[in-house]
Amino acid sequence: MNDLDFRKFPTTRYQGSKRKLLPWLYSNIKKLKFNSVIDIFGGTASVSILFKKMGKITTFNDYLKFNYYAGKALIENRGITLDDADINFLLKRHDTIIYNSYVQNTFSGIYYTDEENAWIDVFLCNWRNLDNIYSPKVALYKKAIAFTAFSQSALRKRPFNLFHRANLYMRLNEVQRTFGNKTSWEGTFDTYFKYFIKEINASIFDNKKNNKALNMRASDLIDNERYDLIYIDPPYIRKEAYGADVNYLKFYHFLEGACDFENWKDRIDYNTKNYCIKDEFNNEWIYPNKNKIAFDNLFRRFRKSKFVISYKEPGIPSKKELVDLIRKYKKKVISVRALKYDYALNKNNGYHKEYLLIGLDK
């Protein structure tokens, strides 16, 4: 794997992404013996792409559906791409399609300008109509690529690259700024979408393995395929944090709703200022009083697999507590520390000590 060029991995503006840490991660796992792996908190698939490039049978998982589309596009997909005809179809109005104005009517003044909301309405309607053009299998992969490109485009135009606040004013007000990039925020959806389609298309490859993408809660996964290794990069809980601080559904609810358009209006909590999706997942991983139990349950279910856990210090549970949990199921625990590292989307939290904790049977 000396020819592995990490610069060619697709870019992402996802909270806590490991993309910039991939060389360090690779240097510490390449000597482990494993053929199959599941990336349990897959996010936008950066680490899963690494495993796939290593020639492993790779299973991507994430409980958020818009991330699942990234896994479909980049991990499960063997070679289907979006061509120019697809792009033109997705970006233009068509006389044969009836369009709605749901985003314009529901989210006016919250995240994007009226013109941008109109663009999103057209895109989402065209995106759903890909089912009427292609066979179900081909349509699924093309829709996955298209939505992943849309997601990255939408994030690039958002202050903080998130949807946790109704803060369109941060883009539009003429004030002195100490953060963000107004030039990036004001780039067009058309421009960004075409850029990310090109990047994603170039990242699609076949490693000759039967790779899969799953859309499940971590607590519902079972070791029914005997994965040789599990990779865990759960939400990072700081000691002073509350559940909402690491609630990825809150961070990305707009994208999660958009890819579930038929049910979007019924999933929204209209009592919130920015029309978040109701917290329907009961995600034990984001609460300090629950995530230690969640770790233990996951380790127990996958106790036949090697463990590789990304861990940031200081966090909950503590590093010692997590090591003790691993030792309930593994004879050997290796702790690897990276250099101090700050996440681009989380500079206010300062630097973290990034560890890999590796649990082995011998």
**Tokens coding 70:** 């990234």
Predicted confidence at residue 161, as pLDDT, reads 92
Q: Is position 263 within any domain?
A: no
pTM reported for the whole predicted model? 0.93
pLDDT greater at residue 173 or residue 263: 263
Structural domain range at position 328: 1-79+206-245+284-362
Same domain, 189 and 276: yes
- Is 109 within a domain? yes
- pLDDT given for residue 16 in this prediction: 86
> Taking a C-beta distance cutoff of 8 angstroms, is the pair 72, 213 a contact?
yes
Residue 355 C-alpha from the chain's centroid: 20
For residues 113 and 199, membership in a common domain is answered with: yes
Q: Can you give the CATH number for the domain in which 67 is found?
A: 3.40.50.150
189/101 same-domain check: yes
pLDDT tens digits along 341-350: 665 544 445 5
Do 94 and 185 have their domain in common?
A: yes
pLDDT tens digits, 124-162: 999 999 999 999 999 999 999 999 999 999 999 998 899
Say if residue 233 is in the same domain as residue 304.
Answer: yes
The answer to whether residue 266 is domain-embedded is no
Structural domain includes residue 261? no
Residue 352 located in a structural domain: yes
From the list 3, 2, 4, the residue with the least C-alpha distance to 49 is 4
Q: Is residue 262 part of a domain?
A: no
Helices 136-156, 189-203: inter-axial angle, 10-degree rounding: 130
Q: What is d(CA 184, CA 188) in angstroms, rounded to the nearest whole number?
A: 9
Task: Please write the tens of the pLDDT for every residue from 196-206.
Answer: 999 999 999 99
Considering its fold, how many domains does the chain have in total?
Answer: 2
Q: Are residues 224 and 95 in the same domain?
A: no
Please give the pLDDT value at position 288: 87
User: Helix H segments across 157-210?
Assistant: 168-172, 182-185, 189-203
Q: Is residue 224 part of a domain?
A: yes
Structure tokens at 137: 């299998």
